[in-house]
């Protein structure tokens, strides 16, 4: 839906509010501040410096774009096309695309060899990239309106695809890591795409790692991600830039963010009880790391810190302070909220 940050410095000196469409439950947060849609200047061809800034965003976790094409095919493509036509988003953020990064011949998963993570490719066993081009990027008419940016892992895992409408102002640069390191370095699992505009605006598509239930390595990985994310938002705040974060952040910050909070809490107690019995906590983790993934006390505390220190506003919470409610018939809800 369209994002709901305030726009200052309008011609009349008034604050203009762009309302968020309540039908699309894309996950994003944003900083207060100015990022006004500008008039297109017909003079010159400096597309990077002129043209409208993005103001509407759509975010979807695909759980494998090839899986969607293979198992749902035309039904899924029609649904996406109808959604894009209806909402006309400026930016479309996909997570967990599960496309393999281009690699040297004979490369293996996690072998440390350099990858072209912005370039998906086919290997001897799978024709994923060929399928995505033939059945999606090259075929779907709406895709021709957007410029795609990929960030891929070593294998069919994680990864992001971010599409920017071609009629918009072009970003002046991209970062594919939370450290904002230039030179094209990507997060090793393709979890980051950050577009930076000459106005100071940053638009970020993130796919956060899952905390898991009872494996210490997952807890440590998620903690490291949250620390890097906190560093990124604090740096953006210090630089006085505007920020829009969209994507799958793999966290439900408050009880009102889940359909059945008592069920989620009960699952957490079960997992924590198992962890205590197995004497699983170590000096690296605590019992607050255990629980329903995305709903553990430590994840919630760390995400709260990201919001606070980054000066961010949870736009969905702004529009729905009462919470999401137990509407389990709504197809937008995850299977994680059901005992079945």
Residue 33 has pLDDT above 50, yes or no: no
Residue 91 has pLDDT above 60, yes or no: yes
Q: Which of 60-64, 102-106, 266-270 has the highest mean pLDDT?
A: 60-64
pLDDT in tens, 290-333: 888 999 999 999 999 999 999 999 988 888 888 776 665 555 55
270 versus 46: the higher-pLDDT residue is 270
The arithmetic mean of pLDDT across residues 145-169, rounded, is 96
Average pLDDT, the chain: 81
Residues 6+ apart with CB under 8 A from 202: 194, 195, 196, 236, 241, 242, 243, 244
pLDDT band at 49 (very low <50, low <70, confident <90, very high): low
Residues 6+ apart with CB under 8 A from 22: 1, 319, 320
The region of weakest confidence among 46-50, 158-162, 194-198 is: 46-50
Q: Say how many Å lie between the first and final Cα of the chain, rounded.
A: 30
Q: How far apart are CA 290 and CA 267, in angstroms?
A: 10
pLDDT band at 267 (very low <50, low <70, confident <90, very high): confident
pLDDT in tens, 248-264: 999 999 988 888 888 88
Buried b (16+ CB within 10 A) or exposed e, 156-177: bbbbbbbbbbeebbbbeebbbb
- How far from 35 is each of 18, 58, 106, 141, 212, CA to CA, in Å? 11, 18, 46, 29, 37
User: For residue 150, what pLDDT is reported?
Assistant: 97
User: For residue 263, what pLDDT is reported?
Assistant: 84
pLDDT in tens, 211-222: 988 788 899 999
pLDDT band at 80 (very low <50, low <70, confident <90, very high): very high
The region of weakest confidence among 48-62, 110-124, 182-196, 223-237 is: 110-124
The region of weakest confidence among 27-36, 167-176, 177-186, 229-238 is: 27-36
Specify whether the CB–CB gap between 28 and 246 falls below 8 A: yes
Residue 117 has pLDDT above 90, yes or no: yes
User: For residue 309, what pLDDT is reported?
Assistant: 96
The arithmetic mean of pLDDT across residues 170-181, rounded, is 97
Residue with tokens 């399928």: 131
Residue 16 has pLDDT above 60, yes or no: no
**Strand order in 146-151's β-sheet?**
57-61, 91-95, 160-165, 146-151
Q: Whole-model pTM? A: 0.82
pLDDT band at 288 (very low <50, low <70, confident <90, very high): confident
Residue 113 has pLDDT above 60, yes or no: yes
Residue 281 has pLDDT above 60, yes or no: no
221 versus 109: the higher-pLDDT residue is 221
Residue 197 has pLDDT above 60, yes or no: yes
180 versus 337: the higher-pLDDT residue is 180
């Amino acid at each position: 839906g369209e994002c709901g940050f305030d726009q200052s410095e309008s011609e009349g000196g008034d604050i203009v509010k762009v309302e968020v469409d309540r039908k699309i439950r894309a996950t994003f947060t944003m900083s207060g501040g100015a990022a006004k849609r500008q008039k297109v200047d017909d003079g010159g061809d400096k597309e990077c410096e002129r043209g409208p800034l993005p103001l509407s965003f759509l975010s979807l976790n695909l759980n494998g774009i090839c899986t969607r094409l293979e198992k749902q095919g035309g039904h899924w493509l029609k649904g996406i096309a109808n959604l894009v036509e209806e909402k006309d988003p400026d930016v479309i953020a996909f997570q967990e695309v599960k496309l393999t990064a281009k690699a040297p011949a004979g490369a293996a998963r996690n072998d440390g060899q350099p990858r072209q993570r912005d370039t998906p490719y086919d290997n001897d066993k799978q024709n994923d990239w060929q399928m995505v081009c033939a059945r999606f990027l090259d075929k779907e008419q709406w895709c021709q309106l957007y410029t795609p940016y990929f960030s891929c892992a070593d294998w069919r895992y994680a990864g992001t695809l971010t599409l920017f409408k071609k009629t918009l102002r072009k970003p002046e640069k991209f970062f594919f890591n939370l450290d904002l390191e230039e030179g094209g370095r990507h997060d090793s699992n393709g979890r980051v795409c950050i577009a930076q505009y000459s106005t100071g605006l940053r638009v970020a598509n993130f796919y956060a790692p899952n905390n898991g239930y009872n494996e210490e390595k997952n807890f440590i990985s998620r903690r490291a991600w949250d620390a890097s994310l906190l560093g990124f938002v604090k740096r953006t705040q210090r630089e006085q830039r505007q920020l829009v974060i969209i994507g799958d952040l793999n966290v439900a910050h408050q009880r009102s963010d889940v359909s059945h909070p008592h069920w989620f809490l009960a699952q957490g107690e079960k997992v924590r009880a198992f962890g205590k019995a197995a004497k699983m906590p170590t000096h690296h983790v605590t019992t607050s790391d255990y629980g329903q993934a995305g709903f553990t006390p430590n994840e919630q505390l760390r995400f709260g810190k990201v919001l606070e220190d980054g000066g961010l506003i949870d736009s969905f919470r702004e529009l729905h302070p009462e919470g999401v409610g137990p509407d389990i018939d709504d197809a937008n809800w995850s299977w994680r909220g059901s005992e079945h």
